[in-house]
Chains A and B, each alone.
Chain A
């Protein structure tokens, strides 16, 4: 009997060793892979523990809540000291229930932990960290069951050798330090649409907060955090009007809204129309509500997008597919009215239901078409996402190939010649992007003391295939648009 109990307790200890910040193999959804994942948060719903995990070396959009059966508790890597510290700090800084936690440390310390003998013993035990974590987890659970809250927090792991009061002191010092460190740089830069690296590292923004959205015909699982109103975030689904992008809490509300909302297309000027594809231009200053709604929606699918500041300095180009019901949003890109760094795109997104259907290339093509009208080259704002990189690389490759293949051979059957500047001019792609594309596709080589462009056969085959696949292209004759010089306007 007692052996059985021991065995059980070991297993449960294994589970309870799972703390925030630790890493362990987790079975990925719909696969049989067990990649290593970091536990970011733990919550308890109806007595069942759930763990929010981030798969190391996989994109955050695959992060998910998992139950214990998908955890491999045999190979737990405890949170490393440094990470642990920073993690504790960030949660202290941004966590919603920080004050509570700060209070619980001194309160629980003397009660749950044995006095000095225990404290002295613990360093002697080998491999103490797991044990300590398990111990703390246990006490944490006890506390939780007592207070029966569902807050997904764990106690701040402080070293048991430390006196309680100093531990507490340490913590508060840390908090202060962190705050003073952050305060000067607390307001991000005013230009651009993407967050500087490291700004989205705290526990809240690392986690998806919206369960599901319903937008027009589709129900979509969000990929990332978005600051929708907190009262909506807790709901099983946020309903979004597909025309004005207003968010409501239920189908009934959506129905009521639709009886009042007379919008059937984005509230801007249609600047492009060919067949069923239309583009609308929306000024982020004039149409604040729509622009904000669009940004909130886009944030669900763009990791590095920042919504810190208002939408005033941006233009939004919304791509729509039109049918009898109206103009359905397919994707969009935003663009700074004045870019100091030659960016012609700030954020770019094709909504998930329309992805892998060449809409992304169409959006990119349109953005370069605008740059052609402006007579300058441009580049997307960095950092790119993985999907962004693949889309842009692919677009660049075929756009450059098209220009190269269209150059006429010289007289006397000489090889046709082209300068990189020519390519930039004809495609509006920025020079650096042209060079990096030529390189990554192995197009540019050094031959007999000079550079040559060498076209491989399989690349040309792929190019042909791609040309056949992309039936819908941007037709510059359908673009009714004149660039504005925003520097001469009052903003």
Chain B
């Protein structure tokens, strides 16, 4: 019985259409009460002639037959005629009754249009992942054929195949967004001859302006944010922006999907890193093999006293230095660009360190020190803020640097570009020449050596025995200290008290003032190797990242540093 009730509700659905009065589909049946139809109950099947009982009653309960059509269309005459005929069993008429439809015809020249036959597949056809439309989308019309023949071929005596023309127009069309591209842009896009581009471009532009629409007909798709497009019947295939309705158990799938995306991204990063590792190790191996090769050759040459190798080194050294100096030049130049107000500095892979200009902030170009700098009076005559001063911090001589106060009171030292970190007057003859590139190219090798070592004040040289104080080799000389290098002309020198995290300021010390070199045993200070990164970016990186722990110094160290700063 419960079952019956259930199915009664199913059948109830069939009652819902009540608007079909007058339709043949409706059977208003006045019969005694009958049971609801049970779809699970076997129903006997009889042939008409076997049942002669007058007791046959049409079914109560199932009153209306749902057609599933739209109400307004159910009454259409042609349909009703057929339905009536079906029910009344007017068999003869039924064959003739059709719903008339608009006409069609066959074309006679089908074989001329569709030339060529298809290849015969014996197996079921399996689609190629996607048939790439590597052919031009634009199709030549009569006007274009005429243009190519009359203008290009005859008037200008140029060659242009139909396919190439289509390719050009397709590319021009594809690159047209809301605005039409210019001739110069067209020249960048197209790979043809300039004359040809000019001709085709002008023709294309004229045609486009005349027709007022794209030359490649496309179905309009919705422009984002365009409200009129919402109802425009000519806009089709809108993207389904709304999220598909997900059931509760699908929510989990969704989260999983997001996590999988993240995992995929992370893994792809790992792959990249491993790729770099592999490359590095390979280079290392190649280096070792070269070393081995050198040693073997020296053995063969019986170079026991290193005479030959030294000779080679001597001759090669300057070349290397020259190269290095040139690179330095380039680096400096780019740094300067970066600091100027309106440069478009962009670098692809700096991630969080990427320099981004803030709105409303004015960025000043770096002080052009090279012009006002009076090397003789240097450094006493100018204020320490805009001059590159001879600077040192507890353990490292920074050479010429400019001091700034950064975020949180940190002292930021901008190093002077390498070629400027020279002993005043030492290379006067070189500095006469303003063009720095020329300086390096024209001067002889020994001078260059000086230039590149000029990082330490000459008076210190003997005393300190910083014989070859090259910032790029520092860590090799003094491995007790962990020193990374700053390739750019910027270094960050934070010093802080470990207990209070207070950051002290170092006083820049002029080179000709009295000073003593104090070597502190354990000042763990780190400069960060970040090529092309602006100082403030570096500072924020220091704060935000794991570098922060490098700030901590032992307490006695802070004492000494404070004494130092006051000296």
Residues of A within 8 A of B (CB): 35, 57-59, 61-62, 93-94, 182, 186-187, 190, 197, 202, 204-205, 214, 216-223, 225, 227-232, 242, 247-258, 260-265, 267-271, 273, 278, 280, 286-287, 289, 292, 295-296, 304, 307-313, 324-327, 352-353, 355-356, 380, 382-387, 389-390, 404, 407, 414-421, 424, 431-432, 435-436, 439-440, 442, 444-458, 460, 462, 480, 487, 490-491
Q: Is residue B107 contacting chain A, with contact meaning CB distance below 8 A?
A: yes
Evaluate contact between A436 and B65: CB separation under 8 angstroms: yes
Evaluate contact between B67 and A384: CB separation under 8 angstroms: yes
Evaluate contact between B37 and A435: CB separation under 8 angstroms: yes
Given the complex, which residues of A lie within 8 Å of B348, measured CB to CB?
none
Evaluate contact between A286 and B70: CB separation under 8 angstroms: no
Q: Is residue B352 contacting chain A, with contact meaning CB distance below 8 A?
A: no
Which size bracket describes the interface of B in this complex? 35 or more
Q: Mark B91-109, 1 if CB is under 8 A from A, else 0.
A: 1000000111111111100
Evaluate contact between A252 and B140: CB separation under 8 angstroms: yes
Asked if A204 meets B14 with Cβ closer than 8 Å, knowing A253-B140, A439-B59, the reply is no
- Most A C-beta atoms less than 10 A away, residue of B104, B105, B130: B104
Evaluate contact between A390 and B140: CB separation under 8 angstroms: no
Near A by CB (< 8 A), chain B positions 72-111 give: 72-73, 75-79, 82, 87, 89, 91, 98-107, 110
Q: Is residue B238 contacting chain A, with contact meaning CB distance below 8 A?
A: yes
Given the complex, which residues of B lie within 8 Å of A202, measured CB to CB?
233
Given the complex, which residues of A lie within 8 Å of B219, measured CB to CB?
227-229, 292, 296
Evaluate contact between B40 and A309: CB separation under 8 angstroms: no
Asked if A249 meets B77 with Cβ closer than 8 Å, knowing A229-B218, A436-B65, the reply is no
Evaluate contact between A446 and B56: CB separation under 8 angstroms: yes
Q: Is residue B166 contacting chain A, with contact meaning CB distance below 8 A?
A: yes
Q: Given the complex of chains A and B, what is the CA–CA distance between A386 and B76 in angstroms?
A: 8
Given the complex, which residues of B lie within 8 Å of A382, measured CB to CB?
68-69
Cβ of B114 to closest chain A Cβ, rounded Å = 6
Given the complex, which residues of A lie within 8 Å of B11, measured CB to CB?
435
Q: Given the complex of chains A and B, what is the CA–CA distance between A432 and B62 in angstroms?
A: 11
Cβ of A410 to closest chain B Cβ, rounded Å = 9
List the one stretch of B118-126, B403-411, B512-520, B525-533 in contact with chain A.
B118-126
Going nearest first, the 3 A-B pairs with the smallest beta carbon separation are: A264-B118, A417-B42, A260-B135
Given the complex, which residues of B lie within 8 Å of A325, measured CB to CB?
114, 117-118
Q: Is residue B131 contacting chain A, with contact meaning CB distance below 8 A?
A: yes
Pick from A264, A352, A435: contact of B104, CB under 8 Å: A352
Evaluate contact between B43 and A386: CB separation under 8 angstroms: no
Evaluate contact between A270 and B126: CB separation under 8 angstroms: yes
Evaluate contact between A457 and B49: CB separation under 8 angstroms: yes
Asked if A386 meets B125 with Cβ closer than 8 Å, knowing A59-B99, A432-B66, the reply is no
Q: List 5 A-B contacts (CB under 8 A).
A: A252-B139, A269-B126, A383-B69, A445-B59, A446-B57
Evaluate contact between B51 and A452: CB separation under 8 angstroms: yes
Given the complex, which residues of B lie within 8 Å of A58, measured CB to CB?
76-78
Asked if A280 meets B125 with Cβ closer than 8 Å, knowing A57-B75, A231-B211, A455-B45, the reply is yes
Evaluate contact between A447 and B105: CB separation under 8 angstroms: no
Given the complex, which residues of B lie within 8 Å of A35, measured CB to CB?
77
Evaluate contact between A197 and B70: CB separation under 8 angstroms: yes
Given the complex, which residues of A lie within 8 Å of B39, measured CB to CB?
419-421, 424, 431, 435
Evaluate contact between B238 and A218: CB separation under 8 angstroms: no
Q: Given the complex of chains A and B, what is the CA–CA distance between A460 and B211 in angstroms?
A: 62
Evaluate contact between B48 and A457: CB separation under 8 angstroms: yes
List the one stretch of B184-192, B239-247, B324-332, B490-498 in contact with chain A.
B239-247
Q: Is residue B41 contacting chain A, with contact meaning CB distance below 8 A?
A: yes
Evaluate contact between A389 and B68: CB separation under 8 angstroms: yes
Chain A residue nearest in CB terms to B49: A457
Q: Is residue B438 contacting chain A, with contact meaning CB distance below 8 A?
A: no
Evaluate contact between B43 and A453: CB separation under 8 angstroms: yes
Evaluate contact between A190 and B45: CB separation under 8 angstroms: no
Chain A residue nearest in CB terms to B162: A256
Q: Is residue B55 contacting chain A, with contact meaning CB distance below 8 A?
A: yes
Evaluate contact between B69 and A386: CB separation under 8 angstroms: yes
Evaluate contact between B217 and A439: CB separation under 8 angstroms: no
Q: Is residue B273 contacting chain A, with contact meaning CB distance below 8 A?
A: no
Given the complex, which residues of B lie within 8 Å of A448, measured CB to CB?
53, 55
Evaluate contact between B44 and A386: CB separation under 8 angstroms: no
